[in-house]
Structure 1
Amino acid sequence: MNLLFHTPGHARHDPTALSPGHPERPARLNALAPVLDQAATNGWTRREHAPATDDALARLHPAAHLAWLEELANGGGGRAEADTALTAGSMDAARSAAGAGLAAVDAVVAESDVRAFCAVRPPGHHARPFVDRGAMGFCLLANAALAAAHARAAHGLNRVLVVDWDVHHGNGTQDAFYEDENVHFLSLHRFPFYPGSGAKDETGAGAGLGATRNLPTAFGTPPDTIVGRFRTALADVADACRPELVILSAGFDARRGDPVGDLGLEPEHFAALTAAVVEVADAHADGRIVSLLEGGYDPAQLAEGVTIHLAALAAGGASSE
């Protein structure tokens, strides 16, 4: 079964109102509307969801963080930091984005061989947990990390794998589980690059030592080499973790020509990355995958990337052969 979740009212979060030309803009998700419509005619089922509750958000975000964001939004808008702006509807969109991940986890855990894609914004993997003012890098709430925390707290899963191939390192997700042996994290990202974290020697701490694996990748690395390294690392991490659920931070800003990122990847490379994740989920997690949109800042390229991603999710691991 393949499920689609979407952020209703996402356009009310519009950083361009404060920063004209801001890349994290409503046009990103608007460009996905025909992609999702087409997917819905090809076997994907749309699901509605509720916004994330304060209790669910409190697993990672202090009340002071939420109150700060609400104050900025309710005051008509403001900047959480230089590149992270809120408008009046930003927190409604952010709570909906986080809620999509929670609902997707509920649906995927309920039965085997279910894959879900969450077309959401604002993105989340830079939002820092356990910090009173942790918004950064266009991110307000830690969508993927909250989904993993929900899988543990609400469903009692013992082993969750979070995979992140956004061109930027998912520092917020890493921080959430850096000392947690039950949530493994694998990140493929450009390095050195924003936000500056994600070095190879960042491997976890305490009980979580070894549960974090980073694949820092230099600009100019051949795309086929990138995909090969990812497949090898993912197989190693999955064998160690034996995940009951795979959560994916699916950023498409590693695409050649993306205005914010770029690692030279083309659509076929995203198909191969997706197929590798599906193979791991099929082998260890009864096919259970929750994929959440992160970056990708050229709307047309983003639509193409998501189209490829959905096709590879639906096809299973066959496209990697």
Structure 2
Amino acid sequence: MATLLVTHPAALAHLTPPGHPERAERLRAIAAALAAPRFAALDRQEAPLAPEAEVLRCHAADYLAAVKAARPEGDVRVQLDPDTWMSKGSFEAALRAIGGAELAVDAVLSGAAANAFVAMRPPGHHAETGRSMGFCLFGTVAIAARYALDRHGLSRVAVLDFDVHHGNGTQDLLRDEARAMFVSSQQFPLWPGTGAADERGPHGQIVNLPLPPGSGGAEMRAAWEPALARVAAFRPELILVSAGFDAHRDDPLADLRWTEADYAWLTGAICDLARDCCGGRVVSCLEGGYDLSALAASVAAHLDVLMERGA
């Protein structure tokens, strides 16, 4: 089985204003990095368009209707909140991000792929039940988790988020879902202001790992090693990853000091956990990462490990 790479040109049609950090060039940088010969073995597939009803696995119907109604025409870009914009192509891109994540879940659970990486945008882990936030329209990974639980009949899934910003949206969307464990490391304090260690959820299945500004790989390992032991005790049947690469030392939006080697270590630790508890089944979805060179190199390091562990 190969590692599955899911993407789609529609993700490039989600346009933000000039100077916005979440821009189409992010995917172009990733695509250039993954054009290297060592990635020739990836199974590359296009993300399908998810039915709008898939959004309702996590979001309110009136919120879906509001986002759909906000779609502009032509070259206009509309602002949904202080950070999040929509262009004509954004709604399709967001639905294809969901469709790509669900395709990856299908492939990994069926054994058609060893593991998967979904390179789509807009990201999703800040979108809450009834509002957009932080560049995100819909909670892609949370929706994929509910899809795995309800469509595939799984009993337990884990969502692991290593973006530098707290996955407040995923936490909100899965807060009451006892079948889903959510673990998130983030710089703290930092926008959006959530992610303190005492945020545990009603079932105790939320684990937040706040990291101080200026900390690097050693602090990351010290936080994630015991957290992964807790995930192992939960015995998930699938691991979903919100793969943000903005904890990199070169990223302009935060102050952690991770390197490509740190992303490789954490990816390997996640894959080792998955091997032991769920047959290696990992589906990773792109979130943040805003220095183009650091993003491309970190995604390449992430895929190197996914491919090696999935071989």
Query: Which 5+ residue runs of structure 2 have no aligned equivalent?
Result: none
Say whether 1:153 aligns with 2:150.
yes
* C-alpha deviation, 1:40, in angstroms: 7.5
> Which amino acid letter does the alignment assign opposite residue 156 of structure 1?
G
Q: Which runs of 5+ in 1 are unaligned?
A: none
Distance 2:35 2:26 in 1: 15
Shift of the 149–286 alpha-carbon distance from structure 1 to 2, 3 Å rule, reads same
SS of the residue aligned with 2:135? coil
Corresponding residue to 2:190 among 170, 184, 193: 193
CA–CA distance in structure 2, aligned partners of residues 102 and 74 of structure 1: 27
Q: 1:41 to 1:163 in 2, by over 3 A?
A: closer
> Pick from 154, 172, 196: which aligns with 2:169?
172
Letter in 2 for 1:152: L
- Partner of residue 139, structure 2: 142
| Cα 1:317/1:89, change in 2 over 3 Å | closer
User: Quick one: distance in 1 between partners of 2:206 and 2:6?
Assistant: 28
- Residue equivalent to 1:127: 127
CA contact (8 A) 1:113 1:286 kept: no
Instruction: Determine which of 267, 270, 282 is the counterpart of 2:275.
Output: 282
Q: TM-score, normalised by structure 1?
A: 0.92
- Is the partner of 1:227 in helix, strand or coil? helix
Assess if the C-alpha contact under 8 Å between 1:276 and 1:317 holds in 2.
Answer: no
3-state DSSP of counterpart to 2:118? strand
User: Could you tell me which residue of structure 1 aligns to residue 48 of structure 2?
Assistant: 50
Distance 1:52 1:25 in 2: 22
In 2, the alpha carbon distance for the partners of 1:78 and 1:204 equals 34
For 2:92, the aligned partner's letter is: D
User: Would the aligned equivalents of 2:107 and 2:113 in 1 still touch at CA under 8 Å?
Assistant: no
Q: 1:112 and 1:102 mapped to 2: Cα distance? A: 13
Equivalenced residues, count: 308
Q: 1:255 & 1:83 partners in 2: Cα distance?
A: 21
* 1:13 corresponding residue in structure 2: 14
Query: Compared with structure 1, are the counterparts of its residues 314 and 81 closer, same or farther at alpha carbon in structure 2 (3 Å cutoff)?
Result: same
Shift of 1:219: 0.7
TM-superposition CA deviations, 1:250-276 (whole Å, max 9, x none): 000000020112310011000001011
Query: In the TM superposition, what whole-angstrom CA distance separates every residue of 1:36-85 from its partner, at most 9, and x where no partner exists?
Result: 33378442111223111122111112222122112222354311101111
8 Å CA contact 1:127, 1:140 repeated in 2: yes
Q: Is the 8 A contact 1:279 1:317 kept in 2?
A: no
Which letter does structure 1 place at the counterpart of 2:43? Answer: T
